């Protein structure tokens, strides 16, 4: 819903692994296709291979870094507040890296491949913004704003308000953690200092 609301366009196709977490994603896509693009699609696009580029760029290093806390016993699952503190520190860092990769990928120049049918020698963002310049078609499904509002309202009735699903910790813990961090000597939280920040904040929390 966040993507649809931002660009007012739905993709012609989504590809999922049918995991339980994709149920609403699938339902929303079906509702949009049935209402605004009911024709059968015979052109399928595989996206799974894309994850290799993300993994090669920084995925393994991130995984290794996150596991460092567990391996070095900085993070102890059974310890009070450790899970909340982890969720307060690390999801924003991971999201920032994902945003960074998205920008990199959309702006990087694809090498020229004149023998290929697909466009090359350009940045993906250019092809997405101006598909006609590259001999492509815009396959996005235009979704009216009122339809998006109805979808969001229906989703909120079933699973609760939007904001409740964008929180990793309770507002109460967020306030306490922010106050503790403000009292430390760090200017900001980065991947490089994240476990040091975690350790110092955990000490304060455990002493409260």
Per-residue model confidence as pLDDT tens digits over 25-84: 888 888 888 888 877 655 555 555 566 666 676 666 888 899 999 999 999 999 989 999
Helix, strand, or coil (residue 150): helix
Q: Which residues does 48 contact at the CB level (< 8 Å), separation at least 6? A: 15
- Residue 39, Cβ density class (10 Å: 0-12 exposed, 13-18 middle, ≥19 buried): exposed
Greatest Cα-to-Cα distance within the chain, rounded to the nearest angstrom: 66
Position 17 pLDDT exceeds 60 = yes
Q: Are 25 and 14 in contact, with CB atoms under 8 Å apart?
A: yes
Instruction: Let me know: does 54 contact 48? Beta carbons within 8 Å.
Output: no
Identify which of 96, 102, 101 has the alpha carbon closest to the alpha carbon of residue 128.
Answer: 102
- Spatial contact of 24 and 159, defined as CB atoms under 8 Å apart: yes
Length of the chain: 208
Helices (H) and strands (E) in the chain, counts: 9, 2
Segment 163-190 shows an average pLDDT of 95
- Residue 18, sorted as left (phi over 0), alpha (psi -120 to 50) or beta, turns out to be left
| Structure tokens, 66 | 């996150």
Question: Closest Cα to residue 57, out of 9, 99, 113, 10?
Answer: 99
**What are the pLDDT digits (tens) for 77-118?**
999 899 999 999 999 999 998 898 889 889 989 889 888 877
Please choose, from the candidates 206, 205, 200, the residue with its C-alpha nearest in 3D space to the C-alpha of residue 74: 200
Express each pLDDT in 119-146 by its tens digit. Answer: 888 898 998 888 888 888 888 888 999 9
Residue 54 is predicted with a pLDDT of: 66
pTM: 0.71
Asked if residue 23 has pLDDT above 80, the reply is yes
> In this structure, is the dihedral angle defined by the CA atoms of residues 81, 84, 88 and 90, taken in order, positive or negative?
positive
> Dihedrals φ, ψ of 141, to 5°?
-95, 115
Report the alpha-carbon distance of residue 43 to residue 118 in Å, rounded. Answer: 14
């Amino acid at each position: 819903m966040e993507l649809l609301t931002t660009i007012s366009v739905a993709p012609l196709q989504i590809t999922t692994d049918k995991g339980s977490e994709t149920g609403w994603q699938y339902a929303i896509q079906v509702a949009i296709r049935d209402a605004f693009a009911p024709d059968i699609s015979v052109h399928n696009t595989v996206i799974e291979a894309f994850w290799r580029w993300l993994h090669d760029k920084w995925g393994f290093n991130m995984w290794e870094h996150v596991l460092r806390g567990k391996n070095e016993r900085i993070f102890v699952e059974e310890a009070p507040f450790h899970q909340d503190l982890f969720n307060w520190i690390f999801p924003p860092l991971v999201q920032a890296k994902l945003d960074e990769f998205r920008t990199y990928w959309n702006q990087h120049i694809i090498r020229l491949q004149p023998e290929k049918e697909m466009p090359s020698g350009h940045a993906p963002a250019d092809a997405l913004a101006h598909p006609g310049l590259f001999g492509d078609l815009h396959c996005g499904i235009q979704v009216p704003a009122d339809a998006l509002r109805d979808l969001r309202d229906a989703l909120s009735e079933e699973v609760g308000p939007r904001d409740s699903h964008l929180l990793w910790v309770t507002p109460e813990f967020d306030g306490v953690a922010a106050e503790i961090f403000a009292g430390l000597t760090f200017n900001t939280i980065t991947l490089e200092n994240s476990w040091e920040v975690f350790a110092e904040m955990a000490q304060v929390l455990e002493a409260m």
